Structure 1
């Protein structure tokens, strides 16, 4: 299965009128993925409750929407993000609780409507995740998450990503085209198209393929990580400033990249192998995200859903002066 990169759709929520817009936008997105009336209605309900919740307890925030491609029945991801302090997550999960003093149905209702619900809250704010799939779809949720944003909501994004997976392996690409805007996007997409043709080739051969495909463009930074989930090992190669980390219980390892520009000039690439990665998190991000983050500063966050982790990192460490992409993958025994 190949999953091509796409930018996260961001809906600001700072006024009551935007709740209805969020509901209609989410429902239309679901209908476009083949959700029937009942399932699209569930998506609309969850979007309404999450948007209303942002206004009630935070005063303002954002809903992040994303399509979740799968071999059998694409899903819809809705993430509510805010920076409000003192959010009582456990109280809000109880039906009948409302921070706005109204009756409310509580976030507990979302846990019954969504196939996946997770959340993280501390003094920095809260992130709430809901993933919904057509009820007849049988494939499990994939522990793969992306938060991708173009600078100033530009229609063109100079970052891109691609994920290929089967029952035994996963291959992940992140590209940051030089600069931002259309020319950076063209460079990144040229590399992604080459990767998608043979995503499970040796990473060093893939770097050569991407280099050839990106010549004549601005070029860019590239990182490729391939994990054999059945064997528990991972191979990584990076050129340029894509940051990559493996995070396990009580430990974190940075994955080294070499200087250079794919499609431009770089010294010979080198791959690095890592053993016993099962159960760890793989995090890759472009330099639109500050590199000084540490999951250890967020107690328990490493055990949340990858989509919650990606949203928290984007919220707290986005530089705000470049495109930004954050990819978070839980390296479990199977992604089938």
Structure 2
């Protein structure tokens, strides 16, 4: 995001996403300002800034994620006050974003950098009644225009279903494999057990190059996570006092897998569930996400994607947590 012209490009893309999500003129205008302010901040103040925009038509909202690698914000609360500036600007940027977005969250560490999540949604969208909150970040491999990874969540009350798929290789063919897996998942995510869902995905992906796939069912009331998977997708349950790894069996959905095995793992009350592809370093430090355990899960996903992306393949981090 080092070129100021990219801010205008991001704003035009945001307008397309606003239309796709059914935002009205006023809501689309708020989104345009959010994108402009965050993009301008990256250009003027950040190192290695990146702005991610995502349409969520099912929730009638557009998500904007700002990620940078420094220098970080020394006084976060002061930076959110109107009139505060470190670069000779009017200083209304982050304060305006917080006011105009329907959802806003920020995490900053000096000198490692800042992650901001802002969402603008339609006023017609009904209130979210789920007891769980989810977020994810996917980054395409260098030089690719599409990401070969894919992720999906289904939330209902205290229950959630999660799928993360990593198409073999990268580029359009890998993306096709992940898309097929997620379309299979979308048909009945909460009614189909993880083991059965993996078998269904395996059958559906036979016409593709195949994918590593992990399927999980999380139940906050029962305090359990059931999982099944094949290939290099992993999950961890992380809290301030616990760190438990959930592994997939060997194989590739669509090519060859053993009879799927399903495991059940206790879900500690304050732990977040983190599912990630092999584009993310396996042994990331659990303490990295402790400052954002009770925050928007997208913050944790973005921090891990920023700090532990291998930089040579598609990379995805998906995070699920209980709401307070």
TM over 0.5: yes
> Quick one: which of 317, 326, 330 aligns to 2:308?
317
| Structure 1 counterpart of 2:40 | 52
User: Are 2:74 and 1:84 aligned?
Assistant: no
User: Are 2:234 and 1:243 aligned?
Assistant: yes
C-alpha displacement of 1:155: 3.9
SS in 1 for 2:256: coil
Q: What TM-score comes out, normalization by structure 1 length?
A: 0.87
> Quick one: which of 192, 195, 215 aligns to 2:182?
192
Check 1:229–1:62 CA distance in 2 against 1; reply closer, same or farther (3 A cut). same
> Quick one: which of 140, 143, 147 aligns to 2:137?
147
Is the CA contact 1:234–1:277 (under 8 Å) kept in the aligned structure 2? no
Is the CA contact 1:229–1:332 (under 8 Å) kept in the aligned structure 2? no
> Quick one: which of 204, 213, 225 aligns to 1:213?
204
> Quick one: which of 43, 56, 63 aligns to 2:31?
43
C-alpha displacement of 1:106: 4.1
Check 1:31–1:153 CA distance in 2 against 1; reply closer, same or farther (3 A cut). farther
How far apart are the structure 2 equivalents of 1:134 and 1:54?
26
Check 1:294–1:30 CA distance in 2 against 1; reply closer, same or farther (3 A cut). same
Deviations 1:96-129 (A, max 9, x none): 0111123221412222111211111112111111
SS in 1 for 2:214: strand
C-alpha displacement of 1:206: 1.6
C-alpha displacement of 1:222: 1.2
How far apart are the structure 1 equivalents of 2:186 and 2:47?
42
Check 1:153–1:35 CA distance in 2 against 1; reply closer, same or farther (3 A cut). farther
C-alpha displacement of 1:182: 3.1
| Structure 1 counterpart of 2:263 | 272
Check 1:273–1:59 CA distance in 2 against 1; reply closer, same or farther (3 A cut). closer
Q: What TM-score comes out, normalization by structure 2 length?
A: 0.90
How far apart are the structure 2 equivalents of 1:149 and 1:55?
20
| Structure 2 counterpart of 1:109 | 96
How far apart are the structure 1 equivalents of 2:207 and 2:90?
60
How far apart are the structure 2 equivalents of 1:216 and 1:38?
44
Deviations 1:211-240 (A, max 9, x none): 222224322211111012333322011211
Is the CA contact 1:285–1:324 (under 8 Å) kept in the aligned structure 2? yes
C-alpha displacement of 1:48: 1.3
C-alpha displacement of 1:271: 1.3
How far apart are the structure 1 equivalents of 2:57 and 2:26?
20
Aligned length: 319
C-alpha displacement of 1:291: 1.2
How far apart are the structure 2 equivalents of 1:295 and 1:68?
29
Is the CA contact 1:277–1:331 (under 8 Å) kept in the aligned structure 2? no
C-alpha displacement of 1:274: 2.2
Is the CA contact 2:195–2:227 (under 8 Å) kept in the aligned structure 1? no
User: Are 2:159 and 1:169 aligned?
Assistant: yes
| Structure 2 counterpart of 1:10 | none
Is the CA contact 1:281–1:330 (under 8 Å) kept in the aligned structure 2? yes
C-alpha displacement of 1:92: 1.2
Instruction: Specify every segment of 5 or more residues in structure 2 that has no aligned partner in the other structure, as ranges.
Output: none
C-alpha displacement of 1:181: 2.5
- Out of 45-54 and 262-271, give the one that drifted further: 262-271
SS in 2 for 1:28: helix
Deviations 1:138-161 (A, max 9, x none): 323972112112223524432222
RMSD: 2.2
Is the CA contact 1:229–1:331 (under 8 Å) kept in the aligned structure 2? yes
Instruction: Specify every segment of 5 or more residues in structure 1 that has no aligned partner in the other structure, as ranges.
Output: 1-12
SS in 1 for 2:293: helix
SS in 1 for 2:83: coil
